[in-house]
Amino acid sequence: MNLAALLVPTPERWLQAACADWHTLLVDHANCEKKAASTALALIFAYPERSAQNLALARLAREELRHFEQVTRMMERLGVRFERLKPGRYAAGLRAALRTHEPHRHLDLLLAGAIIEARSCERFERLAQRLPEPLAAFYGELQRAEARHTGLYLELAAAATGDFRRRLHELLAVEAGLIERDDAQLRFHSGPPAAAAVPAADVTRGNVSSS
């Protein structure tokens, strides 16, 4: 993660809520994988002249869709149904901080991609240490992929401009504020749910049983 080091860790209350309500976590995780693929595709359409970037993003989009398939299979295995979830404020809050004029828009979109992947990587790693099997191994494997995705977006940002460190730090500060503030509901990239009740039995190691 190096250059994209997050400014704040995931709050403990979010981790407790996520382990207690792993059903909702899985559903929103599936949505996140679809969004990640669509983000890569949107960049390909927005900047068709950037051939090297787009080849890399095409590979990324395919991998994100494979992750969506894997999350879907995990949901089926554990008896978790798909449901429509109201989007959280994280992505919208980060997008609101992005510049809209070029070439700054392009850079900001790449940096936002790196930051989102970095937060996913951090959360996968911490969830893998707490959740029972088979989710622990599942998230541990995905963590390595998210680390690669973070690096890719940073490489693309470096290719777009020579010096992006100051802007990256500015956007990381925005992201930190979004992560630390309470949210109305649990989402994969939310802050801590405002009134999360965490049954102690749900966060212990062991095996996750079907619902």
**pLDDT exceeds 60 at position 4:** no
Does position 29 have pLDDT exceeding 70, yes or no? yes
Residue type, 37: A
SS3 of the chain = CHHHCCCCCCCHHHHHHHHHCHHHHHHHHHHHHHHHHHHHHHHHHHCCCCHHHHHHHHHHHHHHHHHHHHHHHHHHHHCCCCCCCCCCCHHHHHHHCCCCCCCHHHHHHHHHHHHHHHHHHHHHHHHHCCCCECHHHHHHHHHHHHHHHHHHHHHHHHHHCCCCHHHHHHHHHHHHHHHHCCECCCCCCCCCECCCCCCHHHHCCCECCCC
Share of the chain above pLDDT 90, in %: 85
**Measured between alpha carbons, how far is 77 from 71 in angstroms, rounded to an integer?**
10
Please provide residue 182's backbone torsions phi and psi, each rounded to the nearest 5 degrees.
-65, 150
> What are the phi and psi torsion angles at 207 (to 5°)?
-125, 140
Model confidence pLDDT, tens digit, residues 163-178: 899 999 999 999 999 9
CA distance 20 to 29: 15
| Contact call for residues 35 and 91 (beta carbons, < 8 A) | yes
Task: Tell me phi and psi for residue 117, to 5 degrees.
Answer: -65, -40
Q: How confident is the model at residue 203 (pLDDT cuts 50, 70, 90)?
A: very low
Q: List pLDDT tens digits, range 134-173.
A: 999 999 999 999 999 999 999 999 999 878 999 999 999 9
Half-sphere exposure of 206 (CA within 13 A, CB side): 7
* CATH class assigned to 10-187: mainly alpha
